[in-house]
């Protein structure tokens, strides 16, 4: 039986960049015990001799000609930005204090 502890869920939430309340962490860890049991059934038939399928179409490296096409203007591209400055996206600090 697979299960996830509250701390496991907290670690996954950190990796997925979603802050979660204590209530959410605990209830998700309970739900995952049930969900993981259900989805683990795939292991019953997934033997080593079966090739995996990642996609329904047998495509590989689809290229297009390297031609410049009309694209969004700067103002269009920035139209949904939460914050902007001097025709650029303004984002919170990414690097630590110097």
Euclidean distance between CA atoms 67 and 22, whole angstroms: 52
- Distance in Å, CB of 84 to other proteins, minimum: 10
Question: For residue 57, what are its two tokens?
Answer: 């179409």
Q: Is 91 in the site for other proteins (CB under 8 A)?
A: yes
Residue 20 is a binding residue for other proteins (CB under 8 A):
yes
Look up tokens 């103002």; give the residue: 75
State the minimum distance, in angstroms, from the CB of residue 48 to other proteins: 9
Judged by CB under 8 A, does residue 30 bind other proteins?
Answer: no
Q: Which two tokens stand for residue 69?
A: 């096409």
The angle, 0 to 180 degrees and rounded to 10, between the axes of the packed helices 6-15 and 22-39 is 100
Q: Which of 1, 22, 23, 41 binds other proteins (CB under 8 A)?
A: 41
Q: How many residues contact other proteins, by CB under 8 A?
A: 51
89 forms bridges with which residues in the sheet? 84
By CB under 8 A, tell whether 87 contacts other proteins.
no
């Amino acid at each position: 039986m697979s299960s996830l502890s509250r701390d496991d869920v907290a670690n996954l939430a950190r990796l997925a960049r979603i802050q979660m309340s204590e209530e959410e962490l605990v209830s998700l860890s309970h739900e995952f015990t049930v969900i993981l049991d259900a989805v683990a059934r795939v292991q019953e038939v997934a033997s080593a001799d079966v090739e995996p399928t990642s996609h329904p179409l047998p495509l590989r490296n689809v290229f297009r000609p390297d031609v410049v096409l009309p694209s969004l203007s700067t103002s269009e591209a920035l139209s949904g930005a939460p914050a902007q400055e001097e025709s650029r996206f303004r984002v919170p600090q990414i690097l630590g204090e110097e």
